Amino acid sequence: MSLTGQLRYHFMKDIGAPALMGLQNITKKKRIRKPDPLFAPPLECTARLKEIMTRHYYLARFVPGAKPVAWVTSGAPVELLRSFGFYTIYPENHGSLVGAKKQGANMCAIAEGAGYSPDLCSYARIDLAHTLSGKTPAGRLPKPDILFAANNICQTIVYWFKAIAHHYDIPLILLDTPFNYSAINDGDIKYMVAQLQEMIPVLEQAAKKKFNYAEFQEIIGRARDTSLAWSDVLATMKNRPAPMTIFETFFHLAPIVSLRGLPVTYDYYQILLEELQQRVRQGIGAVTNERKRLMWDNIAIWYKVRDHSVQFAEQGMNFVTATYTNAWAETTVYMDVNNPFESMAKTYSLVILNNNLDYRLRLMERLIKEYQVDGLVIHSARSCKPYSVGQYDIKRKLRERLGIPAVVIDGDITDARAYSEEQTRTRLEAFFETMGD
C-alpha cells in the first residue's frame, strides 16, 4: 500500500467526499414531491442512507493503492476482515443496485455472451459481466485483492467467486459452513473455528498487518450492537399501523449487509430507529390505509419494488415482515465478544438459508404471529435455488396450520426477462380476491 495512496484515500474519506457530495446536494435541485396519498411522507433518514451508500461507492475509486480490497459474500464473517482494515465490496449488493436500476437483463446478456448460462444466478451473471467488461451502471468497483466467501447462503456463490478468483488469479478464502439438516453439533463448530483461525495468517499476509485480538473483539461487539439495532428497527413494524414497509427495508438493509461492523452503520440504525419510534408514537403508518398485513418470502424483485409497493398499497396492504430482511437479525444473539470465534461460527452457520426447511417453517410461523400477518407473498426466484426450492411445501404447510392465504410470483431478483407482467397481475388479482376485505 503506497503512502500517497493512503493519504489520498484518507483525504477523500474525511474531507473530499463529504465536500463533493455536499456540493452535489446543493447543485441538485431538490425535487419537491407531491404528497402521495397512498404513503406517509418518505422517511427523513433516507437522505442519510443515500449519502452513506453513495460515499461508500464513491470512495471506492480512491481505494486502490490505499487499502487492500476484498470482495465479500453477504453471509461471510466480515468482522474478521474489518480488523485488518480491508475495504469491502459486496457484489450481491452491487447486483441488487443494478437490478433496481432495471439494468439486470442487459448486464446478464453480457455474461451470457461470454458463455455463462442464462440459468445461473443473476447476481453472479451481473458481477461476471462487470468483471469481464468493466461496465456497470452502479458505481465502479475496485479490483479485488482477495475474495472472502461463506457458503451459508448457498453453494452457488462459491462457484461464482471461484470464477472471479480464476479471472483475477487471486486467492478465494472460504468459510465452509456445514448445512444444518438438523441441529448444529460440536464437530461442525470445531471445523468452522479451525477454518477461521487458519484464515488469520492468510489475511495478515494479504493486508500486511498483524492480527489484533482486542480490536477484533471490539468489532464483534459493534457488529452485535448493530444487528440488535437492526432487529429493533424491524420490530417497530409489529405495530399497527407499521411505520415502514418491507419494500423500504430492502433499501435500508444495505448498510447492515455491506458496512457491518463499522461505526457509521451502527449510528445510522440508531437514527432510523428513533425516527420509526417517533412515527409509532404518532400513529403514522407507512401505508396510509393499512388494512391487511403481509409477509414477503425470498429476495426482492428489484426491478419491480416500486411497482409492487404501489400495487399493494392501493389495496390497503402493507408488507410488515420478510424472511429476507430478518436474516441479518436472526442469529445476532450468538455474537459474544468473550468468545468471538465460536460465537461467529454459530452466528454465521445458523442463518435461515443454512438451515433445514422445518426450521424455516417454524421461523415463518413465528414471524406471522408476531407481526400479525394476514397473507403471504412468495417470490419464486429463478436465480436462487436454495431460497426457492421447498417454497411450495412451506406454502402448503402454512395454509394447513395457520389457514394463511398465499400466492407465488414467478420471477427473478434482477433479470426481468424471467418475469411476466401479465401472468403476475392475474395471480395477484386472484390473491387480492382471496384476501377479501
The phi and psi torsions of 375 (rounded to 5 degrees) equal: -160, 160
Does the footprint of ligand SF4 cover residue 390 (CB under 6 A)?
Answer: no
Q: Which residues, in sequence order, are CB contacts of 166 under 8 Å at separation 6+?
A: none
Please, which of residues 396-415 interact with ligand SF4 by CB under 6 A? 413
Does the footprint of another protein cover residue 117 (CB under 8 A)?
Answer: yes
Identify whether the C-beta of residue 293 lies closer than 8 Å to the C-beta of residue 66.
no
DSSP conformational letter for 354? G
C-alpha closest to that of 412 among 387, 380, 386? 380
Residue 123 touches which of another protein, ligand SF4, none (CB < 5 to 8 A by kind)?
Answer: ligand SF4
Does the footprint of ligand SF4 cover residue 153 (CB under 6 A)?
Answer: yes
Q: How far apart are CA 205 and CA 173, in angstroms?
A: 13
Q: How far apart are CA 67 and CA 3, in angstroms?
A: 10
Residue 17 touches which of another protein, ligand SF4, none (CB < 5 to 8 A by kind)?
Answer: none
User: Helix or strand or coil: residue 7?
Assistant: helix
Identify whether the C-beta of residue 56 lies closer than 8 Å to the C-beta of residue 87.
no
Stretch of 7-15, 43-51, 382-390, 428-436 contacting ligand SF4, by CB under 6 A = 382-390
* DSSP run (H or E) holding 89: strand 87-89
The least CB distance from residue 90 to ligand SF4, in Å, is 11
The least CB distance from residue 160 to another protein, in Å, is 6
Does the footprint of ligand SF4 cover residue 157 (CB under 6 A)?
Answer: yes
Residue 241: asked if its preceding bond is cis (omega within 30°), the reply is yes
Q: Which residues, in sequence order, are CB contacts of 180 under 8 Å at separation 6+?
A: 188, 349, 350, 354, 355, 356, 359
DSSP lists the bridge partners of residue 173 as: 148
Stretch of 69-77, 80-88, 364-372, 378-386 contacting another protein, by CB under 8 A = 378-386
Does the footprint of another protein cover residue 109 (CB under 8 A)?
Answer: yes
Could you say which of 30, 181, 214, 282 contacts another protein (CB under 8 A)? 181
**Please, which residue, 153 or 220, has the CB nearer to ligand SF4?**
153
Residues that bind ligand SF4 (CB under 6 A): 92, 121, 123, 153-154, 156-157, 299, 383-384, 386-387, 413
Residues that bind another protein (CB under 8 A): 105, 109, 112-121, 124, 151, 154-156, 158-160, 162-163, 165-167, 172, 174-176, 178-179, 181, 185, 187-188, 190-191, 194-195, 198, 356-358, 361, 380, 382, 385-386, 388-394, 397, 410, 416-417, 419-423
